[in-house]
Structure 1
């Protein structure tokens, strides 16, 4: 008897990438995904690189995209960071990255409640405001807002953005620190490298720390670190790693990675500050999820 979970799509035509379909224990559902291992071999860049290594992906038109959107809007934003081979089991939330098991929790039970004007990270229990003119994407694990797509300087076949802010549980990003300050300090270098390193920007030649301070986000005491980075190719940029406890999942840290190009067409840093101030607890979050007092 086939156990509930992701399995090779029995209806795959042999055209396009192999997909997996969710079996709920009694029938094949309409939920499809490209296997994470396949996605890792097909990295698509999202500018300022940030893309947070989110672990929930969907296949669109033969491409690998981040954060499948249950609202029927634009399906996703292309990602720089590859997904782990298996999604982490996160405390207090359903099994969220396509691992089999999880008590039969299927994709329909993992999708976030959408809020107008916000991108919701269901696992973290937060919603990120979407500024006017930006694109927001909600996800079961992770959320993001982006603006200003353009061809990447080091590889015009890939897409970069002028600015982006992405969230995920710290565990999904393999950040092992247990305090907000330690998590932000540990993540900033990785964030910078994934945002402005590699062949796209020729690597980072130097950086300057602009901020390292305590902040309050979604009612939680957090910490942020902001760098200005100088690259070999293309625009320089600002990167920021922000960490704070989830407002509704006890013991979980949330990491928010941001990256803004330094360019007249890029958003001002004040927009990043406004986004940070506007992050809030997601609507409908907290029920049965180990909400803290």
Structure 2
């Protein structure tokens, strides 16, 4: 049977001394040193993925793999039979003793009433009960966790966490929708996404953000995944801001455009790039989309989110424009 390995950390085919994250269909740019025995292989809670064995050839995107099903483990055997025979013998002896006491009283008179009996202890179960999973701690409603990239994003007032996302991205969005002014569909006044930069080896935050901003603008205001134009397409744009910024204690770079559309008031898009503080420090891209019309959130929400990005488990390391960080490539 042809199938793809499940998402998890596997030996990196291009770096023998590292593990690389497989998202179920393609390699991401996340790498790390091999995890110690017993360590979690996937960010967050959940079972540890088993690395591909002889049955899996994890070559990466575009290759099929063949799963070889292992023989089922023997759960019975001689030990189980011995336990079953012992239990049966104990039950038989208890039944004989109980019957004898029923037929006699303390003086051995067979006509006397039945003597009190003691129930035989219940036979031990041959199986082991499944351990009860401990409930996971309640997630902070004011924080969005991006486990894969090792960061958290604050949820500004008037925003919510998106329940449905694409691929490995995490997202914030404004609640409620409205009819798109262009092609039929539903639009939102704002959206923020966080994901790993894939398909590139670029390590410069400035070059990465500068290259990403056009794609971010097209995805937000020109055409969607179904090739519809919710805003009638982009007519023009202008760059309004750009520069270095500290993000979760790392040096990053951002570019912001004001986008004008054929239908509707258009809006603002921003691409923010910085290295992750976990694993192989893969590059992370956070995209911002805010409408320019009535009902849209304030532009200051962009700065609130950037300033509030933190490494997972480190609430003290922040960022923002003007913060002290190392040079940005």
TM-score range, shorter chain: 0.5 to 0.7
Is 2:151 aligned against 1:123?
Answer: no
Aligned 8 A contact 2:209 2:285 in 1:
yes
Partner of 1:89, secondary structure, is strand
For residue 160 of structure 1, report the CA deviation from its aligned partner: 1.5
Partner of 1:181, secondary structure, is helix
Aligned 8 A contact 1:119 1:137 in 2:
no
2-side partners of 1:284 and 1:5: how far apart?
32
For residue 195 of structure 1, report the CA deviation from its aligned partner: 0.6
For residue 90 of structure 1, report the CA deviation from its aligned partner: 3.6
Structure (1 or 2) with the greater strand fraction = 1
Aligned 8 A contact 1:175 1:187 in 2:
no
Aligned pair in 2 of structure 1 residues 118, 206: CA closer, same or farther (>3 Å)?
same
Aligned length: 197
For residue 270 of structure 1, report the CA deviation from its aligned partner: 0.6
1:157-179 per-residue CA deviation (whole Å, 9 max, x = no partner) reads x32110111100111xx354221
Is 2:275 aligned against 1:245?
Answer: yes
Aligned pair in 2 of structure 1 residues 281, 132: CA closer, same or farther (>3 Å)?
same
Residue in structure 1 matched with residue 28 of structure 2 by the alignment: 89
Is 2:51 aligned against 1:103?
Answer: yes
Picking from 260, 263, 267, the partner of 1:233 is 263
1-side partners of 2:214 and 2:222: how far apart?
10
Residue in structure 2 matched with residue 161 of structure 1 by the alignment: 188
Residue in structure 1 matched with residue 168 of structure 2 by the alignment: 141
Higher relative contact order (CA 8 A, sep 6+): 1
Picking from 304, 307, 326, the partner of 1:277 is 307
Residue in structure 1 matched with residue 91 of structure 2 by the alignment: none
Residue in structure 1 matched with residue 213 of structure 2 by the alignment: 188
Partner of 1:91, secondary structure, is strand
1-side partners of 2:314 and 2:243: how far apart?
30
For residue 284 of structure 1, report the CA deviation from its aligned partner: 8.2
Residue ranges of structure 2 left out of the alignment (5+ in a row): 8-21, 33-40, 44-48, 53-135, 224-228, 316-329
- RMSD over aligned Cα atoms: 3.4
Is 2:176 aligned against 1:151?
Answer: no
Aligned 8 A contact 1:122 1:141 in 2:
no
TM (normalized to structure 1)?
A: 0.59
Deviates more, 1:234-243 or 1:115-124: 115-124
For the pair shown, which has the larger CA radius of gyration, 1 or 2? 2
Residue ranges of structure 1 left out of the alignment (5+ in a row): 7-21, 23-54, 57-84, 105-110, 286-293
For residue 239 of structure 1, report the CA deviation from its aligned partner: 0.3
